[in-house]
Structure formats: structure tokens, C-alpha cells
Amino acid sequence: MKIPFLQGAPQKAAKMINASILRATFDRRAVVIGAVQGGIGVMLALRLGYLSVAENEKYRLQSESNRVNLTLIPPRRGWILDRDGAPLASNRADFRVDLIPERLVDAEGTIDRLGELLSLEPARIADIKDKVATSRGFAPVEVASGLRYEDFAALSVRLPDLPGVVPQRGFSRFYPTASSVGHLIGYVGPASAEEYEKEPNPLLITPGYKIGKDGLEKQFEKDLRGVPGARRVEVTAGGRIVRDLETREDIQGQPVRLTIDGPLQDYAARRIGLESGSVVVMDCRSGDLLCMASMPSFDPNSFSDGIGGVEYAMLRDDERVPLRNKVLKGLYPPGSTVKPMVSMALMQAGVDPNETVYCGGGLRVGNRVFGCWNRRGHGAVDMAKGIYQSCDVYFYAMAQRVGMDPIAAMARRCGLGQEFPLPVISQFFGTVPDPAWKMKKWGREWQTFDTVNATIGQGYMLSSPLQLAVMASRLATGRHVMPRLTLNTKPQGFDKIDFSAEQVAYVQKAMSDVVNGPGTAGRARLPIEGVQMAGKTGTAQVVSLSISNGKSGPWKYRDHGLFVFFAPYDNPRYAGAVVIEHGGGSGAAYPIARDVMTFLFDPAKGLEALNALEAGWGGTAQQRLERRYAAYAAERGATVSRPPRRDEEIFDRVEAEARRAATQTDAIAGEVIAPRPEANPSATPPGAGAVDPAPVPAPASAPAPAGPPSPVAPGTNP
Amino acid sequence: MNTLATRSGIVPEPIARQPWEMLIPLMLLTAFGGLVLYSAGGGAMQPFALSHFIRFGVFAVMTAIIASLPRDAVRLLTYPSYLLVLLLLLAVEIVGQVGGGSQRWLEAGPIRIQPSEIMKPAVVLAMARFYETLPAGMIGSWRSVVPSGMLIVLPISLVLLQPDLGTSVAIAFGGVVVMFLAGLPLWWFLTAGGLGIAALPLIYFFALHDYQRARVTTFLDPESDPLGAGYHIAQSKIAIGSGGLFGKGFNNGTQSHLNYLPEPHTDFVFASMAEEWGLMGGLFVLAMYALILKWGWKVAAQSQDRFCALLAAGATATIFFYIAINLLMVMGMAPAKGIPLPWMSHGGSSMMTNMICIGLLMMVNRWNREAPRRGLTI
């Protein structure tokens, strides 16, 4: 082929060119061009075959993934139910709007427009902008939920101008009793980037999908989650849905049935009122935790889209730490509430309960004098009187006789310093000091005054309200009651008998006398016929006497008020503990225990008392929280700083602060505690003015300062 | 040359002597194109299929008129018609300048003429006429290339101003094929080709618009921008590849029906077709084109004189250019380029150009039949 071609080459150009040569050239070259064209044709056919046969599978797949859009239907979250099946956390259908940051064209403009359409508050808009700016592009950011249908419709028609905005119908988490269950249940929120990395499940970045962030919501995430449904739709390139191909319904998550009594939980939380504290109530027969209220709290409903800047600032600024679950992470010196436990230790160590100690208002130990709260002395005190009159000298004397180790062992057996097998994110176990512990922790020898301090629940001793409640139920029943939080777990510890029936009966009677006899908490008597509550008061000093007298002055220096109880005293059914932080003394705690137990036996009577109180406080806890938020937002809304980006950071911070707060009393652990006249019904219960507007009984009903206790009937029950 | 004419006595002579070996594939192709457009129009005659058939009918009449033109009249009118089209191109420029912004067509009532399209056959005609009149001895001298070069360069520069690179290349292709076949020295082409390749980087960096450059980079690396410029070709390959052997079935194409395939009725009509009819449909289309082009080359080979031969070859090459560039593009072997597929794509301008080419071929074919080639005389 090459030779004839070269005829046109320059060296042969001199040759005469005529028409026939040109014709021959034409024919030759036409064949070449035709061949080239044929070649291209064959190449096209081969390419076509390659695409449609060899690569058919790949392209068919791509065509399908073009055509079919798979959307996950977030599963409805399982409910969290109380012991009677009433929801503590449920779902409600709502209209919601999310943003996908990476699909936004003009983030600022879109958010402003949304804010205008949905009339969002400026603080909320600022929060959303902040989240969009810091979030990863694919993770949806909630704009609003619980929209009215009109707003939802108005937004839906404007969608073409708002790329990245995803309105949808879905379910959102709903906590009917709001802040009452905040700490217990926790809350839900969109998965963070870390959570998505840990579990790269496309469900986690589905708009509107929330996972448990705290409390039981987080603990039971696996059970509550359920199985997502899926919707396969045919979509055009522009995203318009042509038709539904297939829909698989979601499977709702498993419900979690708690031992909590919902109404009681709500009641207790509300009854705490303006104070900061916690109430734990257990069923002594099964170990069921009926109530784990911790107040002040947050509203988990408003946390469902993450913690807003203003809300976070408000909760954080509050010295009553609404973000801390005080039932599990509040540690307090138990104060005199340990005395029944110490009594049990004494009896087990062989002390005869009828043996008396003379209380002259103090006891010299070495070269120091340890005072009784009652400076005038209690006279001859046996064990029962030591409990119901809370005589410190009796315990100083007896504890020295048996030493610290049996007392520490008993404290642990009663649950102090222990962790319980509960489905909670974390629980603090506090401190039960003994010589070995002190040497290890502080490198110092155990001193006599350490024993003295420990027997009255001060010094290094720290415990949580949950532990105090467990202690109360173990003392009340004599069995090794283990608390449980879910109904599907087995009651534990009932086969293990800790104390003999006689000892139990003795302590029951003495603790009953605290309330119903000549004791320190006469106003705790239940206004219910035939049901008598037994209890023990406690006042825990938090700072040195040189700083505060514990009753007035700065809130954070006031004494903690504690009360452990069970009822009915002779056949215990319920036991529990009330701890009021910086309540100024036990007088802040036992009226709450009284009302909570009243509610348990007679809800109508309990509510009556609460309604009267709430009228004075300005509404329920939830109403007050909302009002505070509105006021705070109005005042400080514009100046708040950004909340931490990750919820985990908030928890870590709250937990670290809780640990630090628990060490507050370390500073006075080495001091001689001068017991406060905390348990003295003759004095005006400290802080009672704020806590309990019920008429304060006249101080005249005080026990006689010396000599045998007069059989006082301290006031009438309000 | 005409098998039917000799075989059958039943069919009347005027019908029997028509070039059915080309007309039947052409009509099949157009009908098939109409079918694909019916599907691309959402399973309806409107808006594409009906106008496709109407246009084919109208342009078939035009083709018949062209086919019946006498040889002398064509020789006489070649240059004037070339000049007329050139003036129209100039008019496009002027109207575009006056109206602001670029445009490619002239409007006269309901008819919209795109002169650059008509220029393709017009250039082929003029070139064929030029080399017919050029004395054989001058082939190889500057006079064999400069005037004809001007015939190509003038329209191309006007079209480039529009700007329309694709059509410019198409015009140049037709012209250069005629030059090649006219017997110009081979080394000229080799040198020009070499220079062209050497100049490619310069053209890429200095002469192309941004969108054109994007098309080239996308072609070289389709994954670079799957949602931008590469999207069209990627979707086209998906459409073709997902069709498989026999396709997804008539009216069942998802790529075209759900708008993933851009321009499923014009530039990417082949992909639309292949998705629904598969490899078999594609091979059928290729076979029809092969038959038409083969007939075109046969007409060129049977031509008695230089004008006819060059004209027939040039017209065939022009048709081929459309087919090749379009198919290479939809299969991801050429940059995305706005060139439609003859007789299948919806669009009047390309239909007209290709029907003019067919008309010219039929005209030459008729002249061949009426005056068979006589030995070595011109």
C-alpha cells in the first residue's frame, strides 16, 4: 500500500500529472478513507459490545443506584415505662426540619430564611448557625421540631429555593414529666461525629434520627433502637419522587420497663421544690427503685436537638448544678444517718444495747473534748436513745470500744462505699474510711478522732443518696437488699440475711422513735392512720465552723440535710433517703420524706400538701424552669458563649465537678467536728422558712435538756 | 448498480430505479429514530417523534428536488450558492452583534436557518467544483491549495466567531477530505497533521474557551468531575452499558425517562436507544449507517467525472463525520460535543444538512445512471 501512496511525494512531482493519474489517486485514497471509516465503525461496534456486555453488570448497577433512592425510615424508639406501664419516655408524631450542611448553597441566607419562615428566636438561629459551621457536612442539624402543620406546609412549598433543607414527618422523643426524669432517663440527640465513627451506621446520620445521650436512654440504646425501615423510591435526576417501589416498615425498639413509679418520681422531684437535692425510694421487698429524683434538673424535651447555648449557660451558671445527677453522683458526709448502722455494728460486736453511757454534753478523748450536739447533755443514754436522740457521746464512747474496723465493715455491708449492678452510665461509690484506707490515701496513721468523726458520719465518710437508701432498706429488713432498676432483672440479696430479727426489731423501734417517739424528727410523722414511718436525721457539716455556722450565710457553706427512712416501721415496705444539699440541716430533708411517703400511701393527701407548697413557690418545677429560662434568655441571651460542641464534654465536665465537690469536706476531715444542733426538733428547722411554709412547731416541745428524755410529742403533724 | 431495476418487472421503472439499497436503510433508521424519540418524549408522539417524521417528510421532498437538478445548473449555481451561504453566515454575525450576544441562526418567520449547517455541503460542492476546473498539471502547486484553502478558511473563521468549534471542524473535515481525494501531495497532509498535533497544546491553552477546555479535560479524565462536565458522558455510558444485549425494552429506559441522561433526544439519542434496545439495537443502527455510507462511496466510485466523484465522496464524508463524532462521544471516546446523530436525533438543522448530502448523492447517482462512466475520458 505504501509504494503507490508515495506517488504524490515531492521527488516524483516533476512527473506529468494527468486526469487518469488523478482518478487513480482518487480511487486509491477513497479506498483508504473508506477503510478508515470502516475501521472506526468496527471500533464503535466493539466499544458498544464492551460497554453493554462486558461492563453490563457495572453499569446496570449504576443505573439502578441512579434510579432507586433508598431512604431509611428511622425506627420508632422503644418506650421507657414505669412499673405500671405508664410512659416516662414516649414518641410523638411531629413535623420537623433538618439541615444537611454539605448540601447548603448559602448557609447563612438559608438559616435566616428558615428563621423567618418558622419564626425562630435569635438565640436559636445563632445556635443553628454555630452548629452548621462546626458540624461535619453529612450530619444533619436540627432546625426545629414539633412544627405546626401550617409552618411545615409553608416551608415545603419553598423547598426548591432552599437546597439542603429536609422537612419531614417523623417521631420525636417526648418525656411527659419533663425535668422530673431528666437525670434518670437522660435524653436523646443526633449522633456526634465520634459516635458515627465508632459505629458507621447510615442510620446515625439519617435526618431526624436520635440516639440516647445520657442516662437510661444511652444505657439501653441497643434495646430501644429497633430496626429501621426502608423506603425504595424511583427518583428523577432532579430528586423528584416518581413512585414508591417498596416500603419496609420499621420495627419499633423494645420498651424498657423500669421499677420506677412514675407518679412518685414526679411527686418527689416536685416536692424538692426550691432546694437542691435528691430523693430515693426503694421497695424493701424487692429492691425496686421506685423513685430516683434529683433536682434541680433540666428538661430533656428541650435537649433533643442538642443543648442550646442559652440553656447551657443558664444550667452551668447555676450553683445548684442542674446537670449533675445527685442520686448517683452527689457524695455527702452522711452525718448522723449512719448511727443506726453503727448501732448494728456495735450489737454485732457484742455491745449490749441496754448498756448506758452518761452524756454530759461531751466526751474527752485523749486531750480533746468531743462535744455532743446537745451541749447540755442527754444524761444516761442507751443505744435506742442514742439513735432517737442522736446522742453523739454514746457513739463516741462505744465506737472507741469496738474500734473502726467493724464499723467500716458494717458500713460496707450496708451499701456505703459500694457500687450496685444498675444500668446507669456511672455511679460514685464514695468513701468508707478505715485505717488501711487512710494510710494508703493520705499516708497518715488512723487517729481516735477519725473513729469519732466516722461514727457520726463525718470526716472522710462520703456516700451517695442511693447508698443511703440501700442502707435504710438493709437495716429495715435485715436482708442484703440489692437495688434494681428494671423489672426484667431478678430481685437479689433476699436470701442473704445480714442481721438477726431481734437486732432488726431493735433498730426499727429506735428509728420509729426518732419520728413517732421522743426523737429528733417529730414533724416527719405520717398523717396516715396506722402507718408509722421510721427514720434517722442527719446534718452534715461541709466547712469549718470558722467559716460558717452552717445555717446562714452563703448557700454553699450551709450544712447538708439528710434523712433516711422506712415505713411502716414494724413491717417495712418502703425505704429511702432524702438529701438536701446545703439545706441548713436535717430539717430541710425530713418534711420531704414525710410528704413523699404520704403520697405513696395516700396520693390525694400528698398532692394536697404539695399543691399548697407549689402555690408558694410559684408553680411546678417545670413551670419554674421555663420561667427562669425565659428570664435568663431575655437578660443574658445575647452574651452567652458557645456550649461545648460535644455532649460528652459536658458530661465529663459535670462529672469532674461532681468529684471535686465531693472532696469539699476533706478540708475538715481532720478537724474535730462540733456536731450541730441539727437534729434538734426544738430549734426552728434551718431553712424551713424557704422549704416548708407549714407552721413551725413551737420550740417548747423540745426534749428536756438534761435527764431522762421527756416523752415529747413534738408538734402536730401538719 | 441498481439491483431492483433489473430484477423486477412488476415495479414501475421510475420507482424501481431509485437507490433502494440506501433508501431502505435510511427509512428504517429514521423510523427507528422516531421510535426512540417517541420513548424519549415520555411515550408519546409529541413533542419529538411527530416533528421528527414531519421534518423527514419535508426534507425528503427537498432531497428529491435536489436529486433532480440538472448537471449544468448545479455547475453554474455552485459558486453563487456558496457565496450566498457565506453572506448568510456574515448576516448571522451582524445580527448577533446588533442583537448582542452570540447566536448561530437567522430567523425568517417560523423557519430558523442555521447557515453554518448549510455551509457543510456548500463547501464540499465548491471544493469539488474548484478541483474540477483546476488543470491537472497544477496539482501540487500553490494554486491547487490556496484558493481552495480560502474556500474553507472563510466560512470557518465566521463560524468560529459564533463560536462553534464543532461545526468548524465539520466544515474543515469535509473540505480536507475533498482536498485529499483531489490528489494533493500526501506529504502536505502529513506535515499539516504533524503541525496540528504540535499546535494542540497551544490551542488548548490559548484558543479554547473555559467550557471547551473543561470538556477536553473531562474527556481525558472522566472521573475528575463526575457531577460536572463529566456527568453527561458518565450517564451516557451508564445508559448504554445498562442496556445489555437486548436492552431494557421499549419505553422502559430509566436513564432517559428519569432525566439522568442529558439531552436524551438530541446529542445522546444513541444512548437513549441503546438503553432500551441494547447491543442489538446499536448494531442495527451501525449496520444501517454502514449501508448508507457504503452506497455513498459506491456512488463516488461510479462517478464519471471529477466533480461528481469529489462531490459524492465529500458528501459521504460529511455524513460520516456526524455519525463518528456523535458515537465516539456517547461512548466516552471523544469530548462532549454538540453534534447530533443523523436521522435519529431530534433537530432540523442536522436533518437538513444530512438530507442535502443525501440529495447530492442521489443527484450524482442519477447523473451516473443517465450517463455511465466512459472509459478514461473525463
Residues of B in contact with A46 (CB under 8 A): none
Average pLDDT over residues A13-40: 84
Positive or negative torsion for Cα A56, A62, A63, A65: positive
Average pLDDT over residues B280-301: 94
Give A573 or B137, the one with higher predicted confidence: A573
Query: Could you report the predicted ipTM of this complex, rounded to two decimals?
Result: 0.90
To the nearest whole Å, the CA of B74 is away from the closest chain A CA by: 22
Determine contact: B192 vs chain A, CB below 8 A. Answer: no
Q: Write the DSSP assignment of A8-49 as a string of letters.
A: GSGGGTTSPP-HHHHHHHHHHHHHHHHHHHHHHHHHHHHHHH
To the nearest whole Å, the CA of B282 is away from the closest chain A CA by: 7
pLDDT of residue B375: 47
Whether residue A234 and residue B293 make contact (CB cut-off 8 A), yes or no, is no
Residue pair A44/B328 in contact by the 8 Å Cβ criterion:
yes
Residues of B in contact with A30 (CB under 8 A): 181, 297, 300-301, 313
Give A101 or A699, the one with higher predicted confidence: A101
Across the interface, of B185, B320, B333, the residue whose CB is closest to A8 is: B185
Residue pair A220/A423 in contact by the 8 Å Cβ criterion:
yes
A702 has a pLDDT exceeding 50: no
pLDDT of residue B314: 93
Calpha distance A52→A415 (Å, rounded):
74
To the nearest whole Å, the CA of A49 is away from the closest chain B CA by: 6
Residue pair A132/A141 in contact by the 8 Å Cβ criterion:
yes
A146 has a pLDDT exceeding 90: no
Q: How confident is the model at residue B297 (pLDDT cuts 50, 70, 90)?
A: very high
Residue pair B167/B113 in contact by the 8 Å Cβ criterion:
no
State the average pLDDT for chain A: 82
The residues near A683 (Cβ < 8 Å, ≥ 6 apart) are A587, A677, A699, A702
To the nearest whole Å, the CA of A139 is away from the closest chain B CA by: 21
How many C-beta atoms lie closer than 10 Å to residue A146's C-beta? 13
Q: How many helices (H) and strands (E) does chain B have?
A: 15, 2
Calpha distance B340→B45 (Å, rounded):
20
pLDDT of residue A646: 66
Whether residue B254 and residue A63 make contact (CB cut-off 8 A), yes or no, is yes
Calpha distance A679→A672 (Å, rounded):
19
The residues near B201 (Cβ < 8 Å, ≥ 6 apart) are none
DSSP annotation of A710: P
A352 has a pLDDT exceeding 60: yes
Residues of A in contact with B376 (CB under 8 A): 19-20, 23
| Residue A7, helix vs strand vs coil | helix
**pLDDT over 70, % of chain A:** 89
Calpha distance A213→A647 (Å, rounded):
8
Q: Write the DSSP assignment of A455-499 as a string of letters.
A: HTT-TT-BB-HHHHHHHHHHHHHSB--B-B-BTTSPPBSTT-B-S
pLDDT digits (tens, 9 = 90+) for A635-655: 776 666 666 666 777 777 778
Written in H, E and C, the secondary structure of A220-245 is: CHHHHHCECEEEEEEECCCCCEEEEE
* One-letter amino acid of B354: N
| Residue A580, helix vs strand vs coil | strand
Calpha distance A47→B271 (Å, rounded):
13
Determine contact: A62 vs chain B, CB below 8 A. Answer: yes
DSSP annotation of A716: -
pLDDT digits (tens, 9 = 90+) for A153-196: 888 888 777 888 888 788 888 888 888 888 888 888 888 888 88
To the nearest whole Å, the CA of B212 is away from the closest chain A CA by: 24
pLDDT digits (tens, 9 = 90+) for B316-366: 999 999 899 999 988 988 776 778 899 999 888 889 999 999 999 999 999
pLDDT digits (tens, 9 = 90+) for B208-250: 777 777 777 766 665 555 555 577 888 889 999 999 999 999 9
pLDDT of residue A640: 61
Average pLDDT over residues A381-389: 89
Residues of B in contact with A22 (CB under 8 A): 136, 139, 182-183, 306
Interstrand relation of A256-257 and A80-81 (parallel, antiparallel or unpaired): parallel
Calpha distance A516→A526 (Å, rounded):
9
pLDDT of residue B275: 92
Interface of B with A in 131-160 (CB under 8 A): 136-137, 139-140
Interface of B with A in 277-296 (CB under 8 A): 278-279, 282-283, 286, 289-290, 293
Residues of B in contact with A29 (CB under 8 A): 180-181, 183
To the nearest whole Å, the CA of A65 is away from the closest chain B CA by: 11
Whether residue A8 and residue B317 make contact (CB cut-off 8 A), yes or no, is no
Average pLDDT over residues B251-273: 87
- The distance between the two most distant Cα atoms of chain A, rounded to a whole number of Å, is 152
Residues of B in contact with A21 (CB under 8 A): 136, 183
Please state, in angstroms and as integers, the Cα–Cα distance from residue B252 to each residue in A42, A256, B276, B277, following that order. 28, 49, 6, 10
Calpha distance A659→A653 (Å, rounded):
10
Across the interface, of B136, B245, B279, the residue whose CB is closest to A19 is: B136
Cis bond before residue B163 (omega within 30° of 0): yes
Determine contact: A66 vs chain B, CB below 8 A. Answer: yes
Residue pair A309/A131 in contact by the 8 Å Cβ criterion:
no
B1 has a pLDDT exceeding 60: no
Whether residue B313 and residue A66 make contact (CB cut-off 8 A), yes or no, is no
The three cell numbers of residue A243 are: 413512585
Please state, in angstroms and as integers, the Cα–Cα distance from residue A265 to each residue in A69, A293, A626, following that order. 46, 6, 20
Determine contact: A148 vs chain B, CB below 8 A. Answer: no
Residue pair A286/A314 in contact by the 8 Å Cβ criterion:
no
pLDDT of residue A520: 82
Q: How confident is the model at residue A50 (pLDDT cuts 50, 70, 90)?
A: very high
Across the interface, of B139, B260, B313, the residue whose CB is closest to A30 is: B313
A682 has a pLDDT exceeding 50: no
pTM, rounded to two decimals: 0.67
Residue of B nearest to A16 (CA): B137
Residue pair B88/B81 in contact by the 8 Å Cβ criterion:
no
Residues of B in contact with A4 (CB under 8 A): none
Q: How confident is the model at residue B9 (pLDDT cuts 50, 70, 90)?
A: low
pLDDT digits (tens, 9 = 90+) for B77-109: 999 999 999 999 888 888 877 765 567 777 776
